[in-house]
Structure 1
């Protein structure tokens, strides 16, 4: 009888502990929601425009943004889930592939921008275009999602500062210097570097972006390009969707020495949810898988069926690890410990990737990440900064530099051919 009572008592203790932990988690989540309802959650990167291009040719008549789950592979983003996630301000990525001819990239980027404008016009009770930090705050106070445009890759300007200026006039407020391909004026991460960073024309691109008030986004570039841009820029910079390279060594992530330069230029790393940028274990897995594929292709070149069979067998024996919400929080911890919370934001990259960390499967899950940070001891003030106040400060800083530079000089007349 005594043993039975002890077992029963232990069981009750375990049950009470689980209930208490769940109650704590619920409390943290509710606190996170209250924080995200007080300041705009400002996400740095969402590729819904690209998904609309690929799935329905930009036709809202064929895909209502109130429900994008109808596909075999549902989108990560729609209006109800944005609301559930308490998103207050969104940088919509207007991405086109880096490998297409650059004149074509100009046209396709304009089509992406047109989509964002049409989206805000079609759902005026939900979205409103924002061009300034003041716009973001006003729109958030009105209960809508402030919508800003970020160009993902300098290939979209076709080596032309005039084209850059016209994209600014169309509403673009940041440009990622490169995407996956090294340009005539800037080296990209993941591609063969040719310039050791920025060329002279590339430096002029940064200066003209500063004058316009267009944010310089350094996701996707090499560390040398990052450092050149930080040397040249007079305005704050951003990484719209990158993590800490010391935590996961992916070349798209930011090295420590660059992170430590951000306070001087008031920059911002918007921590992303891309799995291989998040998990070093997964990055290593991909490297091993790619190495095995290269071996099979060398052994069985010209026999694709045999290569496929070998890869299927390897993958059956080697299960891929899964990244987690907690690992995303680890990147935030790392950057905070290195330079402080003032230089951290969030850049999910929803609808730009095929898979996401456990716990961050779509845009409705942002409160869960902020609940995890509360659990780790972050203050409400810390989370207000990470959610949106840091991005608003950085955006406002770029606007202030632009106002000064526009008084000092007119549009640049430099051509890339001036340097050939």
Structure 2
């Protein structure tokens, strides 16, 4: 790094932050945040302490406020290699964590189950807390479980995570059912019949097309990039973006560095290959258990981080192969490409905070959204278009899904 380059970048970030304060925008409604998973892994589902920064977290209430977040889809993710009945139980625990989080901070958070709820909560100066399930394994191939989750307030289901289900193909596995089989098409139809959003992040392109063939209401991508800028399996091809425009859905652009930057993706692949060559232990800890009924949650050992000895053994490779810098401008490039192909009415933001440690400079936590908006403003985005990106587009998708539902479970006003 050239002498003074770090200081130059710090000055640029400060300048961007100052510019961001001049951008008038609708509050952000973000498509995906994994805080519930981090609360399970690090804190035994204890929800206290979110009024200040907590070690290891990218999300807390002050930083949500600084980021001008008015609505958040909280991901209730559980690993896709769990047996399906176990995944249902773990997903229920994750949903419970979101409700307990909202109950613990009633002046700041409120559960939202409809577009009207979101607008009301934002109008009250609170953060609308929506729920999204990340992976079709969580319904255990049961429409009854799907409907029960909808009644608990779940607003989207990602059809797969990183493993195929028996009825849908993931982007991270070899296709097995040609995108969707008859069960998968029935799941998509039932979701839209009851007004739940079909989330196509994590699925294979063949599954994206199969879902769009089946859908009669708008779909969304909760946290993905554009494949034309970086040919990563988690990104969305242009032929799908064109169909998304016609479907009326929205792509929430993510900030995850290996999805944003081809250089970073190549570095990550090389790092993982070297880690395996050295024979180091799996860097991803096992899925943490929830506290038992009689157990003090503080006594549950956290399941985070990697082995200290393994980190030491890997340090020489890291020193010789520094992590590439990913920038806000690169994220903005993905946003602009999606706008160019799908249209400004079909873009949103889905940072994936607390689901990754690999984030661009200036977007390291939930306070960073105004910097991205300022970057787009400097490229000529109007205030009206920034409002669409920030939240108006996804509000429209929510409202359209409710309007087109044949047997809506929402809207309702949850108890306060």
* TM-score, L = length of structure 1: 0.84
Structure 1 counterpart of 2:45: 58
- Which of these residues, 365, 371, 376, is aligned with residue 373 of structure 1? 376
Q: In 1, distance between residues paired with 2:119 and 2:78?
A: 29
- Helix, strand or coil at the partner of 1:221: coil
- Which of these residues, 97, 120, 124, is aligned with residue 102 of structure 2? 120
Query: What is the correspondence of 1:104-143 to structure 2 with a 5 Å cutoff?
Result: 104-143=86-125
Aligned length: 372
Q: Which runs of 5+ in 2 are unaligned?
A: 1-10, 280-308, 409-416
Structure 2 counterpart of 1:209: 191
Query: What is the correspondence of 1:109-188 to structure 2 with a 5 Å cutoff?
Result: 109-188=91-170
Structure 1 counterpart of 2:407: 406
- Which of these residues, 21, 24, 34, is aligned with residue 30 of structure 1? 21
Q: In 1, distance between residues paired with 2:17 and 2:79?
A: 41
1:256 paired with 2:225, answer: no
Q: In 2, distance between residues paired with 1:307 and 1:149?
A: 36
* Contact kept? 1:325, 1:360, Cα under 8 Å: yes
* Contact kept? 2:13, 2:362, Cα under 8 Å: no
Q: Shift of residue 290 of structure 1? A: 3.9
* Contact kept? 2:195, 2:407, Cα under 8 Å: no
- The alpha-carbon distance between structure 1 residues 203 and 65, as it changes in their structure 2 partners (threshold 3 A), is same
Q: In 2, distance between residues paired with 1:307 and 1:105?
A: 30
Could you give the per-residue CA deviations for residues 71-94 of structure 1, whole angstroms, max 9, x where no partner exists?
2xx300001111111100100001
Could you give the per-residue CA deviations for residues 44-103 of structure 1, whole angstroms, max 9, x where no partner exists?
00111111111111123xx4111243x2xx300001111111100100001111111110
- The alpha-carbon distance between structure 1 residues 174 and 23, as it changes in their structure 2 partners (threshold 3 A), is closer
Query: What is the correspondence of 1:330-409 to structure 2 with a 5 Å cutoff?
Result: 330-402=333-405, 405-406=406-407
Stretch of structure 1 that moved more, 114-123 or 237-246 = 114-123
- Helix, strand or coil at the partner of 2:364: coil
- Higher relative contact order, chain-length normalized (CA < 8 Å, sep 6+): 2
* Contact kept? 1:296, 1:307, Cα under 8 Å: no
Structure 2 counterpart of 1:317: 320
- The alpha-carbon distance between structure 1 residues 23 and 354, as it changes in their structure 2 partners (threshold 3 A), is closer
Structure 2 counterpart of 1:194: 176
Structure 2 counterpart of 1:413: none
Q: Higher helix fraction: Structure 1 or Structure 2?
A: 1
Q: Shift of residue 23 of structure 1? A: 9.9
C-alpha RMSD of the superposition: 2.4
- Helix, strand or coil at the partner of 1:148: strand
* Contact kept? 1:179, 1:188, Cα under 8 Å: yes
- Helix, strand or coil at the partner of 2:39: helix
Could you give the per-residue CA deviations for residues 298-340 of structure 1, whole angstroms, max 9, x where no partner exists?
xxxxxxxx99998554433222212111111110111112222
Q: In 1, distance between residues paired with 2:256 and 2:311?
A: 26
* TM-score, L = length of structure 2: 0.85
- The alpha-carbon distance between structure 1 residues 57 and 21, as it changes in their structure 2 partners (threshold 3 A), is closer
Q: Which runs of 5+ in 1 are unaligned?
A: 1-19, 298-305, 408-420
- The alpha-carbon distance between structure 1 residues 58 and 340, as it changes in their structure 2 partners (threshold 3 A), is same
Q: In 2, distance between residues paired with 1:333 and 1:362?
A: 22
Structure 2 counterpart of 1:9: none
Whose radius of gyration is greater, 1 or 2?
A: 1
- The alpha-carbon distance between structure 1 residues 278 and 132, as it changes in their structure 2 partners (threshold 3 A), is same
Could you give the per-residue CA deviations for residues 128-157 of structure 1, whole angstroms, max 9, x where no partner exists?
111110111111111010110000101000
Q: In 2, distance between residues paired with 1:193 and 1:22?
A: 42
Q: In 1, distance between residues paired with 2:310 and 2:17?
A: 48
Could you give the per-residue CA deviations for residues 257-291 of structure 1, whole angstroms, max 9, x where no partner exists?
11111111101110001110011111122233344
Q: In 2, distance between residues paired with 1:388 and 1:130?
A: 14
Structure 2 counterpart of 1:218: 200
